[in-house]
């Protein structure tokens, strides 16, 4: 049997490579626009920070989509599905390798932000509010924000997987005739049901948070995280069941 | 001899169409078996069912392993490498196999790669169909498993190389392993086959030793196989 660490390593490698390409493109974009700004005579110490801030969203979105595509591809490719490992572990390693790659991307962005912020500090510092107005306890909100963004990524990926795996499994049973049209109908139905069920769970937890924390505390966010975790676990269990019982790989 | 593969009552339907029904098949350890049948007969599907890539009803056992996950550890299947990015080098694909398959023998791969003249620095997109098939053969046979499933492994390979590979296949197969080969080049593979299995009319129509076929029917394997479709042989 294949070890989970070995699977994590191999699945992570492809994703790591994709994200590095995104980072490289981002750096090229920052360099090119930086040079262009310098040619126009508008370059100052804070320019690189502003350019990094304005370019970082695009590689994040594209990288996120590429990671989702890689994650889904693994479920129906013989290259991955022939690996002798239990489906729950397979599913976990696929999702976790995507998450680890996303964390890596965020760390690189944080370094880029920090570096360009440090370079432009003398100019940027004048525009910042006094430290007293920022507040003393900034650590918890930052941690919660980071966790929310990571959990959101996991939630989106597991929901995409759920829709993908349900449609993949049902397409085996549909007649070949007009299968594409039927697949679209199945996609719409599954997406609608998934959004309604996930929404129901999240709203339920939000209601619980309101009555428990009286709508003012960071505790609401912690409960939102818990709600996301519940949806991710439920979808995860269903995805593993679908992988075990119904989802086939694409034929050669 | 012990059985490496035992299939009982295997049925598979897809898109409301019956592909295979009530398949019963046992293969002994150490054999080279030809899996024959027309295009669309269900040869690839049968292999995919054995590996767990397709989901049917019935029992499949490979070396005492009954679950799909456990079976995968005992089967090496010639998969088409669609999970890899086309820009990936052969050496990276080999690293992947070495990492995820504990039974992958790197020395054996290098011997096979030398024999098949594979250059590890080439990218997948640079490979011709024949070279790609050679890579798939090398990766599949470099694993040390009980059952090898080669699904039309010689497509796109020139006839000289094909004959060379077929004649040397015995040297690459571990003594106690069984090899199931589906192929259209019946005449070329016939000399190395111990048995043939013919998939016809959604089931196993024939499972016979090649020596028995030759001695009882007086025909060579290709003529015998073709006669099944002409209705000239009673194969009960």
Q: What is the pLDDT of residues B197-224, one digit of tens each?
A: 999 999 999 999 999 999 998 899 999 9
Is pLDDT above 70 for B18? yes
Nearest C-alpha neighbor of A78 from the set B97, B229, B235, B208: B97
| Residue with the larger pLDDT of the pair B95 and A126 | B95
Task: Work out the minimum CA distance from A59 to partner chain B, whole angstroms.
Answer: 20
Residue reference for tokens 């590689």: A59
Q: Do A252 and B100 touch (CB under 8 A)?
A: no
- Contact predicate B43/B151, CB 8 Å: yes
A46-80 per-residue burial string, b: 16 or more CB within 10 A, e: under 16: bbbbbbbeebbeebbebbbebbbebbbbbbbbbbb
Cβ pairs A/B, distance under 8 A: 84
CA-based nearest distance A248→chain B, Å: 5
Task: Find chain A residues with C-beta within 8 A of B79's C-beta.
Answer: 78-79, 82, 252
Cβ contact, residue pair A252, B80, below 8 Å: yes
ipTM value for the complex: 0.91
Pairwise CB contact (< 8 Å): B53 & A246: no
Task: State the pLDDT at residue A85.
Answer: 96
Of all residues in chain B, what percent carry a pLDDT higher than 70? 97
Q: What pLDDT is stored for residue B53 in this prediction?
A: 94
User: Domain B1-74+147-154+177-236 class?
Assistant: alpha beta
Q: For residue A113, what are the contacts with CB-CB under 8 A and spacing of at least 6? A: A49, A52, A53, A56
Alpha-carbon distance of B5 to B178, in angstroms, equals: 9
- Cβ <8 Å between A79 and B102: no
CB contact under 8 A, B83 and A73: yes
Domain positions in chain B are 1-74+147-154+177-236
Mean pLDDT, rounded, of chain B: 91
Q: Which residues of chain A have pLDDT under 50?
A: none
Cα dihedral A186→A189→A191→A194 (10° resolution): -120
């Amino acid at each position: 049997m294949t070890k989970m660490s070995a699977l994590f390593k191999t699945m992570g490698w492809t994703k790591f490579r994709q994200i590095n390409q995104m980072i490289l493109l981002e750096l090229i974009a920052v360099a090119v626009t930086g040079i262009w700004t310098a040619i126009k005579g508008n370059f100052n110490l804070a320019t690189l920070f502003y350019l990094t801030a304005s370019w970082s969203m695009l590689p994040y979105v594209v990288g996120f989509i590429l990671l989702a595509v890689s994650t889904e591809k693994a479920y129906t490719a013989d290259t991955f599905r022939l690996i002798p490992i239990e489906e729950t572990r397979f599913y976990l390693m696929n999702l976790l390798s995507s998450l680890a790659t996303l964390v890596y991307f965020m760390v690189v962005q944080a370094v880029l932000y920090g570096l360009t912020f440090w370079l432009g500090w003398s100019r940027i510092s004048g525009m910042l509010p006094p430290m007293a107005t920022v507040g003393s306890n900034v650590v918890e909100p930052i941690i919660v924000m980071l966790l929310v963004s990571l959990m959101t990524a996991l939630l989106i990926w597991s929901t995409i997987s759920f829709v993908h795996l349900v449609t993949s499994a049902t397409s085996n049973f549909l007649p070949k005739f007009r299968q594409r049209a039927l697949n679209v109908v199945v996609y719409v139905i599954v997406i609608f049901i998934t959004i309604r069920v996930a929404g129901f769970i999240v709203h339920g937890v939000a209601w619980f948070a309101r009555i428990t924390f009286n709508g003012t505390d960071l505790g609401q966010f912690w409960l939102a995280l818990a709600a996301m975790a519940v949806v991710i676990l439920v979808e995860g269990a269903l995805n593993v069941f679908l992988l075990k019982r119904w989802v086939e790989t694409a034929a050669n | 001899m012990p059985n490496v593969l035992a299939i009982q009552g295997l049925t598979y339907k897809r898109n409301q169409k019956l592909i295979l029904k009530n398949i019963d098949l046992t293969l002994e350890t150490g054999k080279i078996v030809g899996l024959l049948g027309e295009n669309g007969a269900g040869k690839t599907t049968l292999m995919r069912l054995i590996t767990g890539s397709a989901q049917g009803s019935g029992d499949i056992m490979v070396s005492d392993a009954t679950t799909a996950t456990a079976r995968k550890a005992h089967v090496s299947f010639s998969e088409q490498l669609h999970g890899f990015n086309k820009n990936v080098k052969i050496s990276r694909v080999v690293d992947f196999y070495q990492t995820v398959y504990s039974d992958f023998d790197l020395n054996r791969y290098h011997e096979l790669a030398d024999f098949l003249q594979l250059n590890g620095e080439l990218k997948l997109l640079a490979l011709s169909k024949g070279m790609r098939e050679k890579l798939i053969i090398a990766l599949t046979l470099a694993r040390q498993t009980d059952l090898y499933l080669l699904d039309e492994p010689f497509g796109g390979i020139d006839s000289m190389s094909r004959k060379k590979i077929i004649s040397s296949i015995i040297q690459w197969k571990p003594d106690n392993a069984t090899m199931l080969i589906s192929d259209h080049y019946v005449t070329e593979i016939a000399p190395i086959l111990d048995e043939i299995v013919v998939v016809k009319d959604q089931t196993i129509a024939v499972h016979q030793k090649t020596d028995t076929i030759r001695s009882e029917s007086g025909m060579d394997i290709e003529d015998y196989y073709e006669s099944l479709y002409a209705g000239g042989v009673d194969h009960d």
